[in-house]
Amino acid sequence: MRATALTLPGVWLIEHQAFGDLRGAFFESWNERAFAAAGIEARFVQENVSISKRYVLRGLHYQITHAQGKLVRVLAGEIFDVLVDLRRSSPAFGRTLHVELAARAHQSLWVPAGLAHGFLALAEDTQVHYKVTDFWTREAERTLAWNDPALGIKWPLPQNVAPILSDKDREGRPLALAETFP
């Protein structure tokens, strides 16, 4: 496994070493010792899988209390994954980061607590698996506006194609009005 620090503090791109033969391939997606050696220590309490059609946009989600660290991996398809640093104490507060993740690449993204997270599905039947460090809590859930001009996110949507959004994601708040972390 190789862990690469990305531009937002605490965010890591994990490249898993896959072992292939005529049957297919195998890789460890989580090994507590290997991740701890890379500086990522986490206890996961819940695992989730979302299945999305092409151009479904989910996010940008976070929990203001019960903040969740996430280990995100694509099981099928590919995504344009976006993070927004909502930690006021961070030198990167308000900055965004995007990473393209695809099932064929055998990668995971470590997202520490205090960041909003969302993605755009770039293929039909995209499946995203993520482990989280705290339980989902409806009262704590918040949504940042995916299209807030202050964030400057350039979602890779074809011209004249609108993302498929839930009502919750359509009603996200801009960064200037969002609840943030200390």
Kindly give, in sequence order, each residue whose CB lies less than 8 Å from that of residue 167, ignoring residues fewer than 6 positions away: none
Residue 66 is among the residues annotated as catalytic for this protein: no
- Tell me which of 55, 62, 117, 130 is the catalytic residue: 130
The greatest distance separating any two alpha carbons of the chain, rounded to the nearest whole angstrom, comes to 54
Give per-residue burial for 49-69: e unless 16+ CB within 10 Å, then b.
eeebeebbbbbbbbbeeebbb
Q: 125: buried, middle or exposed (CB in 10 Å: 19+, 13-18, 0-12)? A: exposed
**Four-residue CA torsion sign, 32, 34, 39, 40:** negative
How far apart (Å, rounded) are the C-alpha atoms in residues 42 and 145?
Answer: 28
Catalytic residue among 16, 55, 61, 62: 61
61 annotated active-site: yes
Active-site positions?
A: 61, 130
